[in-house]
């Protein structure tokens, strides 16, 4: 026959501690929790920073290549308009149109940057809020 062993009784490790010892443990636990949350926020921001840096570098390289391509297209456009007008007037017209397009793009870009939120360690913030809520809830018991 099989003997069924009884499960060990559930003990409360803090039941026998004095209030001063409980406060000491609470202080140590809160300190450790805060340090862990700061470490988490640091790791999260480092990870996001690396991804943003790589993306910015690739975006910059693409911009340089696009600049060369754009220059070639602008030269072709000036040569095309120069078939109808004198070359200096063709270059002037193309230049003014390009400056107008650049101004519109700059205004749209400025609005987009203004709408952007600052990079925050969102996971760490959620965890800290959850920890604060848990401490408040246990304090009300």
User: For the chain, what are the domain ranges?
Assistant: 19-136
Would you state the pLDDT for residue 10? 58
**Nearest CA-CA partner of 119 in 35, 31, 25, 52:** 52
Enter the pTM of the model: 0.42
Q: CA 128, CA 134: separation in Å to the nearest integer?
A: 10
Other Cβ atoms closer than 10 A to 124: 19
- The burial of 121, by beta-carbon neighbours within 10 Å (0-12 exposed, 13-18 middle, 19 or more buried), is given as buried
Tell me the CA end-to-end span of the chain in Å, nearest whole number: 47
List all residues 6 or more positions away from 46 whose beta carbon is below 8 Å from its beta carbon. none
Can you give the pLDDT of all 141 residues of the chain as single tens digits? 555 566 566 567 767 778 888 888 888 888 898 888 888 888 888 888 888 888 888 889 999 999 999 999 999 999 999 999 999 999 999 999 999 999 999 999 888 887 776 767 777 888 888 888 888 887 766
| 130 phi and psi angles, rounded to 5 deg | -65, -40
**Nearest CA-CA partner of 78 in 66, 69, 89, 65:** 89
């Amino acid at each position: 026959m099989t003997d069924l062993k009884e499960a060990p009784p559930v003990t409360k490790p803090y039941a026998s501690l004095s209030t001063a010892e409980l406060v000491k443990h609470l202080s140590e636990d809160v300190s450790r929790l805060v340090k862990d949350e700061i470490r988490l926020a640091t790791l999260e921001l480092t990870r996001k920073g690396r991804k943003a840096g790589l993306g910015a570098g690739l975006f910059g390289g693409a911009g340089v290549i696009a600049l060369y391509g754009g220059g070639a297209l602008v030269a072709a456009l000036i040569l095309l308009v120069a078939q109808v007008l004198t070359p200096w007037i063709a270059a002037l017209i193309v230049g003014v149109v390009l400056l107008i397009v650049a101004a519109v793009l700059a205004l749209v870009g400025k609005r987009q940057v203004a709408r952007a939120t600052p990079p925050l360690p969102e996971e760490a913030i959620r965890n800290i809020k959850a920890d604060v809520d848990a401490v408040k809830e246990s304090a009300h018991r």
